[in-house]
Amino acid sequence: MKTKSLYNISNLIFKMIVYNLRIIFANKFIWFLAGSVGFYMGLSVIYVFSNDVSKMGDLYGVFLFSGLLLVFYPSVFGVQNDQDARTIEILFGIPNYRYKVWLVRIVLIFAIAFIIMLVFTFLSSVLIVKFRFVNMTAQVMFPVLFLGIMSFMLSTIVRNGNGTAVLMIIFGLFFMILSDGLHKSQWNIFLNPYELPWDVNETTWAIIALKNRIILVTGSIIFLLAALYNLQKREKFM
């Protein structure tokens, strides 16, 4: 009996991943994936041929941008794609649709992004400069998670992919402008843990980076709860 239920659960997880991937990849996501790969490849080639040995801080920037490209489309346009495909009303008829449909998809999006980022960082650690690639991927995933879930939450408020994209670009620019002034603060969304400021000692920097990661994860959880709450307001999506 236990074997049967284990088989059922593993089949469910596997099939859910496969079907959701088909849905996520159905639209323009493939182009964002291609963009991410292209961006990574382009910069990697430049690094390989440049005389300057790459700094970890710079690599973090490359991976961060690639990661953001990966999660941008599915998190911003996910809800609108269901509206366009006219499947939203069908989905609203499914009990606990918020968890079974959108939460599953958003988790999958980050899982895929994590795996692809692992491949990128692994390749860079072999081809460009040796570093702990799992560590780097984990560090990059914090701001990717924060901005991805923030855009998902915004898409449940704006309910329009293009509108959300514009808002996210404005917020992104705003965070980038702020990151100059806040470069040593835990409140900097784009805090680069590999760029140690010259006037901060390593222990203090590690504490700042840890606090920053806690803030990003807390923010992501709040945004996710807000998105799940917004998705209860079915009328607004009709």
Rounded (10°) angle between helices 104-127 and 133-158: 150
Is the separation of the CB atoms in 194 and 121 below 8 Å? no
- Longest CA–CA span in the chain (Å) reads 62
Q: Is residue 1 within the footprint of other proteins (CB under 8 A)? A: no
Q: Is residue 53 within the footprint of other proteins (CB under 8 A)? A: no
- x/- track of binding to other proteins for residues 88-127 (CB under 8 A): -xx-xxxxxx-xxx--------------------------
Rounded (10°) angle between helices 56-84 and 161-181: 160
> Least separation, in Å, of the C-beta of 130 and other proteins?
41
**Cβ count near 43 (within 10 Å):** 20
Region near other proteins per CB under 8 A, out of 61-69, 85-93, 114-122, 172-180? 85-93
> Least separation, in Å, of the C-beta of 16 and other proteins?
6
Q: Which of residues 171-210 bind other proteins (CB under 8 A)?
A: none
- x/- track of binding to other proteins for residues 127-146 (CB under 8 A): --------------------
* Between 68 and 231, CB nearer to other proteins: 231
Rounded (10°) angle between helices 104-127 and 56-84: 150
Question: Distance between CA 235 and CA 72 in Å, rounded?
Answer: 25
Is the separation of the CB atoms in 73 and 211 below 8 Å? no
> Which residues make up the interface to other proteins (CB under 8 A)?
4, 7-9, 11-12, 15-16, 19, 22-23, 26, 85-87, 89-90, 92-97, 99-101, 225-226, 228-229, 232, 234-235, 238
